[in-house]
Structure 1
Amino acid sequence: MEKEKLKDFAAIVMEAQRGELVFPTSVNGALSLQLCLADPACHDEDVIRKLLAEPVLAARAVALANSAVFRSNGAALATSVRVAVMRLGYRNLYSLASAMVVRQFGARIADPALRAKAEQLWRYTAHVAALAYVIAQRITKIDADTALFAGIMHEVAGFYLLGRADTIPGLLDDPDEWMGAAQEIIAREIMKKLQVPEPVAIAIVALRGGAIGIPPQGLRDTLLLARQLSPVPSPLPYTEDLALTRTPALTLYLNEPAVAALLNEAADQAKSMSAALLV
Structure 2
Amino acid sequence: MEKLKDFAQVVTEAQRGELVFPTSVNAALSLQLTLADPDCRDADVISKLLAEPVLAARAVALANSAVFRSNGAALATSVRAAVMRLGYRNLYTLAAAMVVRQFGARIRDPQLRMQAEQLWKYTAHVAALAYVIGQRITRTEPDTALFAGIVHEVGGFYLLGRADAIPGLLDDPEEWMGAAQEIIAREIMKKLQVPEPVALAVVSLRGAAVGIPPEGLRDTLLVARHLCPVPSPLPQEQDLMLGRTAALAGYLEQHPHVASLLDAAAEQAKSMSAALIV
**TM superposition score category, shorter chain reference:** over 0.9
Conserved in 2, the CA contact under 8 Å of 1:127 and 1:270? yes
Structure 1 residue runs of 4+, over 4 Å off?
Answer: none
Tell me the residue number matched to 1:258.
257
Find out whether 1:61 has 2:59 as its counterpart: yes
Find out whether 1:181 has 2:179 as its counterpart: yes
Tell me the residue number matched to 2:40.
42
Q: For 2:81 and 2:237, how far apart are their aligned partners in 1?
A: 38
Q: For 2:250 and 2:184, how far apart are their aligned partners in 1?
A: 36
Q: For 1:239 and 1:28, how far apart are their aligned partners in 2?
A: 34
Aligned-pair CA distance for 1:264: 1.4
Tell me the residue number matched to 1:94.
92
Conserved in 2, the CA contact under 8 Å of 1:209 and 1:243? no
Structure 2 residue matching 1:219: 3-state secondary structure: helix
Aligned-pair CA distance for 1:4: 1.9
Q: For 1:22 and 1:222, how far apart are their aligned partners in 2?
A: 30
Which stretch of the first structure deviates more once superposed, 246-255 or 208-217?
246-255
Q: For 2:264 and 2:106, how far apart are their aligned partners in 1?
A: 36
Distance 1:205 1:92, change over 3 A: same
Q: Deviations over 1:218-254 (max 9, x none)?
A: 0000000000000001110035351454443321222
Which stretch of the first structure deviates more once superposed, 247-256 or 105-114?
247-256
Conserved in 1, the CA contact under 8 Å of 2:133 and 2:220? yes
Aligned-pair CA distance for 1:182: 0.7
TM-score between both structures, scaled by the size of structure 2: 0.97
What is the letter of the counterpart of residue 166 of structure 2? I
Aligned-pair CA distance for 1:188: 0.5
Tell me the residue number matched to 1:146.
144
Conserved in 2, the CA contact under 8 Å of 1:204 and 1:220? yes
Conserved in 1, the CA contact under 8 Å of 2:209 and 2:244? no
Q: Aligned match of 1:33 in 19, 22, 31? A: 31
Q: For 2:142 and 2:11, how far apart are their aligned partners in 1?
A: 32
Q: Aligned match of 1:117 in 115, 118, 123? A: 115
What is the letter of the counterpart of residue 210 of structure 1? A
Tell me the residue number matched to 1:9.
7
Q: For 1:207 and 1:271, how far apart are their aligned partners in 2?
A: 23
Which stretch of the first structure deviates more once superposed, 3-12 or 208-217?
3-12
Structure 2 residue matching 1:275: 3-state secondary structure: helix
Tell me the residue number matched to 1:85.
83
Structure 2 residue matching 1:97: 3-state secondary structure: helix
Ranges in structure 1 where 5+ consecutive residues have no aligned partner: none
Ranges in structure 2 where 5+ consecutive residues have no aligned partner: none
What is the letter of the counterpart of residue 103 of structure 1? R
Aligned-pair CA distance for 1:262: 0.5
Q: For 1:244 and 1:272, how far apart are their aligned partners in 2?
A: 28
Q: For 2:242 and 2:70, how far apart are their aligned partners in 1?
A: 32
Distance 1:241 1:149, change over 3 A: farther
Q: Deviations over 1:201-232 (max 9, x none)?
A: 00000001111111001000000000000000
Structure 1 residue matching 2:197: 3-state secondary structure: helix
Q: For 1:102 and 1:59, how far apart are their aligned partners in 2?
A: 17
Distance 1:5 1:37, change over 3 A: same
What is the letter of the counterpart of residue 263 of structure 1? L
Tell me the residue number matched to 2:162.
164
Q: Deviations over 1:21-44 (max 9, x none)?
A: 000000000000000000001100
Q: Aligned match of 1:230 in 203, 215, 228? A: 228
What is the letter of the counterpart of residue 277 of structure 1? L
Alignment RMSD = 1.1
Structure 1 residue matching 2:236: 3-state secondary structure: helix
